[in-house]
């Protein structure tokens, strides 16, 4: 126990494990278990205490009122008021402007009490639903007397109508039964069929009775305290003022006195209050000490010590009373030995009173209590903010502030210096600046100094062989005019006038030939004034590390470069102490805010370098802990303000705060300095390691001190095993070298005596809380204490601390935090995770609105988040035997935590809803649950990958640029973003997904492979990161590509005979179609072990043999490769010919004019279907700009300039300058539309019943015309151009018609292959379906579509193969689409489909898809109907053409539309 008992005792609500203040392991004013032993204290002892909420105040001659928890209620809310005409009046705010007032009139001579109810602004039909509570009873009963109109409701309550009087409703009850203690009631609003409750419970109003006349009844204080707690609990556990606490305590005493006056005995009351009686007790009740020499406060302290030694169990009420009396008896025995009360008090303080208690075992993890989580709409978790305007950020980056005179001079000087510049610093001095440039050449160090100060300046300087040392410079290097002093030299600056620089300044050059000097300390002197560097000496380092690294820093693109340069310039100042660093960061917050997202990213990178010890924490500067704490407080205040004013950057700001620590103005930091002295004095450990640590703490405390304190605690607990001390230090990054590197080095190891053990453990434990309160932003216990509030008194010279509770916390929130602390070390972490997440969910609304204590709430949220991650890592072991449902639930908890921590979390939230749906399907016996869960798992992986890419894009450029300038280790820069990700929930979530994946694949019978193109292949294994990076390669040998990333739009390079990927391209994506057309083996491998084995075989020759569900592979030799069919020369493009199409005389044609000379197969096929498909299949109306129109437009006189430019560019292209492709596309977009084209297209569109864009205004026509030109320009897409070259097609002969169709705003889009492409089975149809438009299906959009097969002989029984994992759907308003239709798209032997663009007139909107509300997923009947209709449409079209078809279409309001069909390749 602490010498200052009041500092370290916590008193909580009595007799309940749910109304607990913080455990004793929290900050000093918190204790755990039951609120032990809050005995009423009537004593002159200076240790008397007064409890206020969750803090403890040490005062004299005060009573300890009942414990309580803070309660923050919504309506109705009870407030005590005063009324001259009544003894008791209570007001309740019900809802809106409705109020209830209850007045209790004191009894008259006939012993009747009157209770008056008045409801203001209520409805016309209100009823009092009520009963009476008698003394000694907990539930209500029905009184005999009641007002007229009262009815008995279900024999459980009385229901009395209110009487309407103006805007009020009134009612009076007359209570004659003197045994009735209170009226308990609800109000029923019949007009609205609504119950009005008091915080979810009953209202309760105590009756006022005449004063009982008779002897003064004495009631044991412990019984009064229990009764007062029960009163507080009945009233909704409100947050009482100190005055109200006293009033309630005395009211409890009066109640018990009245009960005794009615004949109850003390034993009866005790039995009632402790829910026991003399008959049921198995052992004799311990004698109650009525007279004792032991003051109550000392008995409470001793009871607390007993409770601690027993393992802080949750005692039942009767056991608490026993423990208090047992503690009193122990102390009485000590007094009987002849010692005085003062001596007894000292023995208690030192923990010297012997006590015997039974150690209570911790609760079994198999019988863990659980919280009841609220049902929530997870959609409310979505944080979605518009992207930061890149233009604004770029403007900030492009317009750096104007250079100052010295900065301009420095720039010019650097250009003149030929030698390598090792170091450059610009210091602020008075109203000017000082430049120091250090260069090195031929073993000489050259120092150039310059300042723009106007008054004459003298340099007072020395040299250092070790940093900070002052040595007089050798006379041989002194510049002219220098004088030598004792340990320094003085040299005047001179005005620069002959070097030709535009900026004239005072300057000085020093050349040092001795290479053993490492730096130069100096100050400036002007007149009678010394000029220092913010109170310290200037120091310039001759080290080359930082400046040489600058050359590798790059140009700072993708960063807030101007801000990072400022940070780099000020790092030498920031190195002095945390106070300097935090104050500089605070000064730079305005710049960071102006730079937006990249600015805050820069601050985060800098603070992260600090937190990971990549930067110097303290250098030649002594700073008080309270100054560090104050600087932290200043910075976190600014971060708090930015969090409120810039919600789109909250995730980044939150990460900055987690690196900075909480801080705290003044006294919190000062206690670091003071408490270590108290620990040394109390425990007689003033020398050795403790003194060295004390000196370090006084000089410059840091987060290392938290680790050192923990290492000492672990060392003492291990019975002084020094190996444990070093283990704790090393595991947290502190080595012997680091201890020696402090300005006040720690040389010694701890060496304590056995008799110091208990005292040191106690006091270091308390000290740890103080350290964490300042340095740790993620420490749960200190974060909770900071929000709940506490008070710690000073001792002697030591300052006190008072932290007030944060206002507005949710009702029951404190109980929730106690639950978390009770279970924070449980082995079974699921219950803990539920509590942590419930706490975060309850806290979240408070984080989204302004609050002057917002940063305390943020640090609490950060701590809860951190505890989740720690618990998840601890819970891995228990998942070894978990079933899939347990794993999925665990994943949902971790995902919920991640969603609560990040911005732009819409995709993550929908993944979370997906996991809950998968659990529901599993629990409901849906046999598709594993298949659906696999899709949710795949989508979750995509969401994590997207988040990782965002982190990398935002942070990595700043990390590399700033880190290179500051000389941060390259390995730390390489893994910077990776470590950021590992520090969050994403890494844990990824591990859990990896664990569940094979379980789901096995359950869903998915196997390890999906075969996309089943072709046998032999070739050399080549491993690549992305297929797109090699799509234009030409492999000389047959090659099996193992590509980590395949998006779906890539080309397969020449020479590739197989493509293996873990990625998830759709079976009907472009790359999949190209693989099948090119007879290339293509498969997705889901098993990471198989994939790793394939990657390990790079350079070897493998034979791949696909089966419908597997790929069998084996190594072969060169001979088998030579005999492989892969080496047989394919019949190539020698037989492929394109026929140049001519302009047919029309700019636009209708569907009945479509011929092979006018349009491509896409247009002709859609026209052919019109009127031939079943009536329930819609065909969109179409017109076209036929072949030759592009060339005609190009040759028009209005486009002569464009034609000339294209001629030049196509010549460059023919000569191999492939970068001309982009220029050609841009030039095509400059074409103007001939008037005749506009006229004809308008006529054809209107004649076909299509809307004409020009009717909506000239701008709409311009949009349509631009879309047409983009279709023509896509002829020169890189992918399309190189594909024609591969098959030796003449690109000039490729002609482009444009098919014009009205867009159907689709609910779903689908692609059908009427022969299963994976198996070649022509008896079944294969199809894929996506939400919205079909571009997400055929384009490079991540994730998979819903896929299914359907036997042609049973079109009503589609079989789902996979559920969708695509996070994005494309949607568009009513519009026009212009589709490419070239003469090469369906050329036999060359699949040109998908190579060229189809362009809508309006941009599609990307929508993040919530599959949990999609009827295609949730409604089995709807799904069966839609999929069957798709299959039937495909079968009908196949029969119409007589061959396998590749069909695209959409679904709108349940109706199918086919937008194109072509032969399946």
How much is the mean pLDDT over the chain? 80
Mean per-residue pLDDT, 419-437:
83
Question: What pLDDT does residue 539 have?
Answer: 87
Report pLDDT digits (tens) over 273-326.
765 433 333 333 333 333 456 877 777 788 878 877 776 666 665 677 778 888
Mean per-residue pLDDT, 1001-1010:
87
Question: One of 448, 775, 823, 1070 is an active-site residue; which one?
Answer: 1070
| β-strand pairing of 1177-1178 with 1455-1463 | parallel
The three-state (H, E, C) secondary structure of 892-920, written as one string: HHHHHHHHHHCCCCHHHHHHHHHHHHHHH
Report pLDDT digits (tens) over 5-21.
222 222 223 222 222 23
What token pair was written down for 1165? 């096929």
Mean per-residue pLDDT, 187-211:
79
- Split at pLDDT 50, 70, 90, the class of 1387 is low
Question: What pLDDT does residue 617 have?
Answer: 79
Report pLDDT digits (tens) over 1305-1314.
899 999 999 9
pLDDT of 792 above 80: no
Report pLDDT digits (tens) over 469-489.
889 999 999 999 999 988 899
Least confident of 98-112, 802-816, 958-972: 98-112
Angle, CA of 608, 610 and 614, to the nearest 5° = 100
Highest averaged pLDDT of the listed ranges 389-403, 548-562, 1008-1022, 1346-1360: 1346-1360
CB neighbour list of residue 773: distance below 8 Å, 6 or more residues apart = 27, 662, 664, 668, 779, 782, 785, 786
Higher pLDDT, 1449 or 626: 1449
pLDDT of 908 above 50: yes
Least confident of 401-405, 585-589, 756-760: 401-405
- Residue 1390 · residue 1133 · CB < 8 Å: yes
pLDDT of 1125 above 70: no
Mean per-residue pLDDT, 1169-1181:
91
Question: What pLDDT does residue 815 have?
Answer: 87
Question: What pLDDT does residue 899 have?
Answer: 95
Question: What pLDDT does residue 279 have?
Answer: 36
- For residue 56, the cross-strand partners are 51
Q: Does residue 129 have an active-site annotation? A: no
Dihedral-angle region of residue 414 (phi above 0 means left; psi in -120 to 50 means alpha; beta otherwise): alpha
Question: What pLDDT does residue 112 have?
Answer: 72
- For 411, 544, 967, 968, 1162, the CA distances from 548, given in Å and listed in that order, are 17, 6, 8, 12, 61
Mean per-residue pLDDT, 1030-1053:
88
Report pLDDT digits (tens) over 1249-1305.
999 998 988 899 999 999 999 999 999 988 788 877 777 778 888 899 999 999 888
- Split at pLDDT 50, 70, 90, the class of 1358 is very high
Question: What pLDDT does residue 671 have?
Answer: 66
Question: What pLDDT does residue 648 have?
Answer: 92
- Split at pLDDT 50, 70, 90, the class of 979 is confident
Higher pLDDT, 1301 or 773: 1301
- Residue 450 · residue 435 · CB < 8 Å: yes
Least confident of 141-145, 344-348, 500-504, 827-831: 500-504
- Split at pLDDT 50, 70, 90, the class of 88 is low
Name which of 269, 362, 371, 379 is nearest 321 in CA terms: 269
Helix 667-683 with 625-645: angle, nearest 10 deg:
140
Mean per-residue pLDDT, 1437-1459:
94
pLDDT of 599 above 90: yes
The residue count of the chain comes to 1465
Q: What percent of the chain has pLDDT over 70?
A: 83
Report pLDDT digits (tens) over 350-361.
667 777 665 444
What token pair was written down for 815? 């109980």
Highest averaged pLDDT of the listed ranges 768-777, 804-813, 1326-1335: 1326-1335
CB neighbour list of residue 210: distance below 8 Å, 6 or more residues apart = 106, 107, 111
Least confident of 236-240, 534-538, 598-602, 1371-1375: 236-240
Higher pLDDT, 48 or 1174: 1174
CB neighbour list of residue 1149: distance below 8 Å, 6 or more residues apart = 1158, 1159, 1183, 1184, 1186, 1244
Residue carrying the six token digits 């300390």 = 521
- Split at pLDDT 50, 70, 90, the class of 108 is low
Helix, coil or strand: residue 58:
strand
- For residue 1101, the cross-strand partners are 1020
- Split at pLDDT 50, 70, 90, the class of 1022 is very high
Phi, psi of 133 (to 5 degrees): -110, 120
Question: What pLDDT does residue 1005 have?
Answer: 87
Question: What pLDDT does residue 287 have?
Answer: 36
Question: What pLDDT does residue 357 have?
Answer: 66
């Amino acid at each position: 126990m602490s010498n200052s008992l009041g500092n370290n005792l916590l008193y909580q609500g009595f007799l309940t494990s749910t109304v607990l203040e913080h455990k004793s392991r929290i900050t000093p004013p918190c204790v755990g278990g039951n609120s032990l032993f809050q005995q009423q204290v009537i004593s002159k002892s200076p240790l008397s205490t007064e409890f206020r909420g969750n803090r403890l105040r040490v005062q004299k001659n005060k009573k300890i009122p009942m414990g309580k928890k803070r309660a923050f209620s919504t309506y109705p809310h009870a407030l005590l008021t005063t009324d001259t005409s009544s003894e008791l009046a209570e007001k309740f705010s019900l809802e809106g402007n409705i109020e209830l007032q209850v007045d209790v009139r004191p009894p008259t001579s006939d012993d009747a009490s009157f209770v008056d109810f008045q409801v203001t602004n209520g409805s016309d039909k209100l009823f009092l639903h009520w009963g009476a509570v008698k003394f000694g009873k907990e539930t209500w009963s029905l009184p005999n007397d009641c007002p007229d109109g009262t009815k008995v409701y279900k024999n459980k309550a009385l229901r009395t109508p209110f009487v309407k009087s103006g805007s009020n409703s009134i009612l009076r009850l007359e209570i004659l039964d003197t045994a009735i203690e209170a009226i308990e009631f609800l109000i029923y609003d019949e007009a609205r069929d609504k119950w009005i409750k008091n915080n979810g419970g009953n209202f309760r109003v105590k009756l006022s009775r005449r004063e009982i006349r008779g002897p003064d009844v004495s009631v044991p204080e412990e019984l009064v305290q229990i009764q007062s707690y029960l009163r507080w609990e009945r009233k909704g556990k409100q947050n009482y003022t100190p005055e109200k606490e006293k009033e309630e305590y005395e009211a409890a005493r009066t109640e018990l006195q009245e009960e005794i006056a009615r004949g109850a005995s003390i034993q009866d009351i005790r039995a009632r209050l402790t829910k026991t009686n003399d008959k049921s007790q198995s052992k004799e009740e311990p004698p109650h000490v009525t007279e004792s020499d032991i003051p109550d406060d000392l008995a409470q302290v001793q009871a607390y010590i007993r409770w601690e030694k027993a393992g802080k169990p949750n005692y039942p009420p009767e056991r608490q009373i026993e423990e208090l009396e047992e503690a009193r008896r122990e102390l009485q025995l000590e007094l009987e030995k002849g010692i005085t009360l003062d001596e007894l008090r000292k023995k208690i303080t030192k923990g010297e009173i012997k006590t015997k208690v039974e150690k209570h075992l911790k609760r079994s993890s198999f019988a863990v209590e659980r919280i009841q989580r609220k049902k929530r709409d997870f959609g409310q978790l979505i944080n979605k903010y518009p992207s930061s305007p890149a233009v604004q950020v770029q403007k900030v980056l492009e317009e750096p502030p104007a250079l100052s005179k010295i900065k301009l001079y420095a720039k010019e000087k650097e250009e003149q210096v030929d030698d390598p510049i090792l170091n450059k610093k610009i210091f602020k001095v008075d109203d000017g600046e000082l430049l120091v440039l250090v260069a090195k050449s031929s073993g000489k160090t050259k120092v150039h100094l310059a300042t723009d100060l106007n008054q004459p300046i003298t340099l007072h300087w020395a040299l250092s062989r070790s940093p900070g040392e002052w040595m007089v410079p050798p006379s041989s290097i002194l510049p002219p005019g220098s004088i030598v002093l004792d340990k320094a030299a003085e040299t005047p600056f001179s005005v620069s006038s002959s070097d030709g620089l535009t900026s004239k300044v005072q300057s000085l050059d020093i050349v040092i030939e001795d290479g053993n000097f490492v730096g130069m300390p100096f100050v400036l002197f002007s007149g009678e004034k010394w000029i220092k560097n913010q109170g310290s000496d200037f120091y310039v380092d001759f080290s080359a590390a930082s400046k040489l690294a600058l050359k590798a820093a790059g140009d700072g693109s993708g960063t807030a470069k101007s801000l990072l340069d400022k940070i780099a310039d000020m790092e030498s100042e920031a190195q002095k102490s945390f106070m300097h660093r935090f104050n500089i960061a605070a000064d730079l917050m305005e710049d960071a805010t102006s730079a937006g997202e990249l600015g805050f990213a820069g601050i985060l990178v800098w603070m992260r370098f600090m937190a990971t010890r990549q930067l110097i924490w303290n250098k030649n500067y002594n700073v008080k802990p309270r100054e560090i704490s104050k600087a932290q407080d200043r910075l976190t205040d600014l971060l708090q303000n930015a969090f409120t004013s810039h919600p789109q950057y909250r995730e980044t700001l939150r990460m900055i705060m987690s690196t900075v620590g909480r801080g705290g103005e003044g006294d919190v930091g000062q206690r670091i300095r003071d408490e270590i002295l108290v620990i040394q004095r109390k425990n007689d450990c003033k020398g050795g390691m403790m003194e060295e640590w004390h000196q370090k703490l006084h000089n410059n405390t840091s987060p290392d001190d938290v680790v050192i304190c923990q290492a000492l605690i672990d060392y003492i607990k291990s019975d002084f095993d020094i190996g444990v001390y070093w283990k704790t230090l090393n595991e947290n990054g502190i080595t012997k070298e680091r201890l020696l590197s402090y300005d006040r080095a720690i040389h010694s190891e701890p060496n304590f005596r056995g008799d110091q053990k208990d005292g040191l453990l106690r006091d270091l434990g308390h000290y740890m809380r103080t350290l964490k309160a300042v340095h740790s932003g993620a420490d749960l216990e200190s974060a909770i204490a900071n929000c709940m509030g506490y008070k710690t008194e000073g001792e002697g010279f030591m300052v006190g601390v008072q932290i007030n509770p944060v206002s507005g916390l949710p009702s029951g929130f404190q109980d929730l935090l106690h639950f978390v602390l009770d279970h924070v070390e449980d082995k079974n972490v699921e219950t803990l995770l539920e509590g942590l997440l419930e706490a975060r969910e309850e806290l979240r609304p408070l984080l989204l609105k302004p609050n002057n204590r917002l940063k305390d709430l943020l640090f609490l949220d950060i701590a809860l988040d951190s505890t989740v991650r720690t618990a998840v890592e601890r819970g891995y072991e228990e998942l070894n035997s978990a079933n899939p449902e347990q794993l999925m639930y665990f994943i949902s908890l971790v995902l919920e935590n991640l969603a609560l921590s990040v911005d732009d979390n819409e995709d993550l939230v929908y993944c979370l809803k997906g996991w809950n749906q998968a659990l529901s399907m599993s629990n409901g016996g849906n046999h598709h649950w594993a298949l659906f869960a696999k899709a949710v798992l795949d989508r979750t992986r995509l969401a994590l990958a997207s988040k990782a890419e965002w982190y990398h894009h935002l942070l990595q450029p700043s990390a590399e640029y700033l880190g290179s300038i500051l000389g941060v280790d390259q390995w730390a820069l390489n893994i910077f973003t990776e470590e950021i990700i590992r520090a969050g929930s994403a890494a844990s979530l990824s591990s859990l997904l990896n664990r569940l994946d094979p379980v789901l694949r096995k359950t869903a019978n998915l196997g390890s492979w999906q075969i996309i193109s089943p072709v046998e292949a032999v070739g050399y294994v080549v491993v690549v990161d992305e297929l797109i990076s090699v799509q234009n390669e030409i492999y000389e040998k047959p090659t099996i590509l193992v590509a980590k990333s395949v998006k779906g739009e890539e080309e397969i390079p020449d020479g590739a005979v197989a493509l293996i990927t873990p990625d998830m391209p759709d079976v009907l994506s472009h790359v999949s179609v190209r693989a099948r057309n090119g007879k290339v083996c293509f498969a997705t491998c889901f098993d990471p072990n198989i994939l790793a084995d394939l990657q390990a075989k790079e350079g070897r020759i493998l034979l791949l043999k696909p089966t419908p569900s597997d790929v069998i592979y084996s190594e072969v030799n060169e001979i088998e490769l030579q005999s492989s069919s892969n080496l047989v020369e394919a019949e190539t493009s020698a037989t492929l010919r394109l026929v140049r199409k001519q302009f047919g005389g029309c700019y636009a044609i209708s569907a009945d004019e479509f011929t092979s000379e006018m349009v491509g197969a896409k247009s002709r096929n859609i026209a052919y279907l019109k009127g031939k498909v079943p009536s329930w299949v819609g065909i969109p109306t179409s017109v076209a700009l036929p072949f030759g129109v592009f060339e005609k437009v190009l040759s028009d006189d209005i486009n002569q300039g464009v034609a000339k430019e294209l001629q030049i560019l196509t010549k460059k292209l023919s000569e191999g300058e492939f970068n001309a492709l982009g220029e050609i596309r841009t030039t095509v977009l400059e074409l103007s539309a001939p008037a005749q084209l506009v006229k004809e297209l308008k006529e054809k569109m209107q004649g076909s019943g299509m809307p004409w864009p020009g009717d909506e205004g000239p701008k709409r026509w311009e949009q349509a015309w631009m879309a047409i030109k983009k279709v023509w320009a896509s002829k020169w897409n890189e992918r399309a151009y190189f594909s024609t070259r591969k098959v030796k097609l003449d690109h000039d002969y490729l002609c482009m018609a444009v098919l014009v169709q009205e867009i159907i705003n689709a609910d779903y889009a689908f692609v059908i292959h009427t022969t299963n492409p994976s198996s070649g089975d022509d008896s079944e149809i294969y199809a894929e379906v996506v939400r919205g438009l079909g571009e997400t299906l055929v384009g490079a959009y991540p994730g998979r579509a819903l896929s299914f097969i359907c036997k042609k002989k049973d079109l009503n029984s589609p079989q789902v193969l996979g559920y969708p994992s695509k996070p994005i759907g494309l949607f568009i308003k009513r519009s026009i689409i212009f589709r490419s239709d070239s003469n090469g798209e369906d050329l036999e032997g060359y699949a040109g489909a998908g190579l060229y663009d189809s362009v809508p007139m309006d941009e599609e909107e990307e929508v993040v898809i919530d599959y949990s509300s999609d009827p295609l997923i949730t409604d089995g009947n709807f799904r069966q109907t839609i999929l069957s209709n798709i299959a039937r449409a495909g079968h009908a079209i196949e029969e119409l053409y007589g061959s396998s078809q590749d069909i695209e279409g959409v679904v709108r309001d349940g109706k199918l539309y086919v937008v194109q069909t072509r032969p399946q390749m």
